[in-house]
Every structure is written in C-alpha cells, then in structure tokens.
Amino acid sequence: MAEYCADGRYAIWRHWEETDHYEPKPGKVIGAGPDVAAKPHIGLLKSKWGFSAVIVGISDIQSAISAGFSYPQLVIAVDPNNYQGSEIDNAIANGTRYFYNDEPFTVSPWSKTQIETISNYYRARGVRYGIGEQCHWYRTILGDETSDAQYMRPRVDLMTYTNYKGFPCLGYVGPGVAPEDQRPMWDWMQGFCGGQFEIPWISLHQDEGEFNNLLGHASNLGKSRVSVYAPLANFYNLESFCYHAWLRGWLRRFVKRWADKYCCTTPQFYPETCEFSGERQFIGIFETFA
C-alpha cells in the first residue's frame, strides 16, 4: 500500500549507511606504532578502528590498559636503560609477550652486548624480543658473516625494518615523489629473515594508495600481523586504511543504517521530483561484508 506525506505527495523511504566502527578479524592482528598510539587517540584505535595491538613505552602502559587494550595486546618498546623492573615484570605476569627495540644500531646506537643482554633477559622469561632497523642495514651487510645483522639473527625473535626515508627501504623516495611498491622489499626480507620477518610495517602517509596491495601481499606471504606507522601522528588516512583492511579480510566492518523519508510527486524516486521531509529513522548497527 502506498504511503503518503501530509501534503498528499508519495512518501518514499531511501536507505543509506555509514561506517560505525571496525573490529578485529579472528586470526589477524593490526598493531599501531607509538605515533599512531599517541594519546589521546589510543582509545579510538581500540573502540572505533579495530586495532588489536599497540606499541607503547613503559610510561604509556597504563594509558593503553585504560583505553581497553589488554596486556597480551601490548608490544612494549624498551632500551638498555629500562628493559627490566617492576613495570616489565607486571606486564609479563599479565600476559605481555612482545618487547621491541627501534633502530638500535643505526640511530641509538647500542652495543651488541647490550642487545644480547636484553635478549637473554626476555628469553629467560619466555617472551619474544625483536628489533626494527633501516633496510640498508640489512642489505649492505647481508653477505658479511661478521656483520651486526648476522650476529643478531639467532639472538632476536623478530627482525623488521623501519626507515621511511630512502629507497629501497619502505618505498618512499622523498617529498613530491611517488612511492615505490615495497612488496619486493617484503619478499626480500622474507627470504633473508624467514619467520623472523613476522610483522611488516605500513605507513598511513607514504603508503597512501598502496593499502590494498600491501595488505593483500601481507596475506600472500602468510602474515597474520601488520603494524601501522604514522609520522607526526597524522591520522588523515586511517579511515582509508581500515576500509582497505576490511576489503582484504584484516578487519570486520560495522555500519549504521538509516532511512530518510522523501515526499515525491511520482511513485518512483527521482531527485528532481522529491524533497526530503526531514524525517529520519535509525534502523540499527549491522556487520557488512566485502
């Protein structure tokens, strides 16, 4: 039966939807680097964007817990001066299993002895310890059996690369220059590090336009974890990243559905013959599938 507006025109309901939030996909983990997890955004990473891991410093552990992340979802960034203590012991006791050093050789730098001491400390406690380095650190010393990289390989559980400043590291060659496809570099790291290359990094800024390809290739390589990096805590591509993560099976997407009532001069909806009545109904929140 036809429905009519008060003025006698035909009432036609038009349905539309908008993203409400994302949730983790079982078997997949998307983590946020420390810039992305910066306060006060950390709560939204959990409640709206579906992130299920964050890299935090020791001073930010409680902020992450208060935002809804659990201890097993934390990756704690440490250095030779703060890799042990009551906060670390408490995190391990509550389920934290990942600890991390960023660029310990090319930026810090720390000695091999320091890194090995940290590695031994965490291995003795049954947790995983990893490092991230610039890709040229791997490439230039690959064939040198006495190199830092060869020395570290049996001593850490995870090896990844972090530099977004120079080709061919993560595929970014400078301001105003189109980024290169970093998938070949991932293939190279997979061959070099094997299972130690477990968590590829994706930049919200430099990898704009490559999210779909990179997430797809991470799945092709058998990865179940990726980490997102955002220089200067720049979040303007976060929605696009999460949308492509949903398309590629890395996140679940939930939408709000609405119905708008239009008054039309014909029984069919044509924009030129219809007028929004101002009446809008909320239908509900539903999971949607790619």
Of residues 126 and 148, which shows the higher confidence score?
126
Give the model's pLDDT for residue 233: 52
Tell me which of 173 and 43 has the higher pLDDT.
43
> Does residue 180 carry a pLDDT above 70?
no
pLDDT in tens, 107-135: 878 888 898 999 999 999 999 999 888 77
Instruction: Please give the average per-residue pLDDT across 144-160, as a whole number.
Output: 76
Give the global pTM: 0.88
Of the two residues 79 and 35, the one the predictor is more confident about is: 79
pLDDT at 140: 65
The confidence score (pLDDT) of residue 93 equals 98
Domains in the chain and their CATH numbers?
1-25+250-290 (no CATH), 27-249 (3.20.20.80)
What's the pLDDT band for 166 if we cut at 50, 70, 90?
Answer: very low
Is it the case that residue 172 has pLDDT exceeding 90?
Answer: no
Strands 274-288 and 251-264: antiparallel
Half-sphere exposure of 19 (CA within 13 A, CB side): 18
Phi-psi region of 51 (alpha: psi -120 to 50; beta: other; left: phi over 0): beta
- Does residue 76 have a pLDDT over 80? yes
Convert the pLDDT of each residue in 9-27 to its tens digit: 999 999 999 999 999 999 9
Confidence band of 54 (pLDDT split at 50, 70, 90): very high
pLDDT per residue over 226-283, tens digit each? Answer: 999 876 555 678 999 999 999 999 999 999 999 999 999 999 999 999 999 999 999 9
| pLDDT at 3 (0 to 100) | 96
User: How do 29-32 and 251-264 pair as beta strands?
Assistant: unpaired
Closest CA to 28 of 265, 275, 245, 194: 245
Mean pLDDT of 76-81: 92
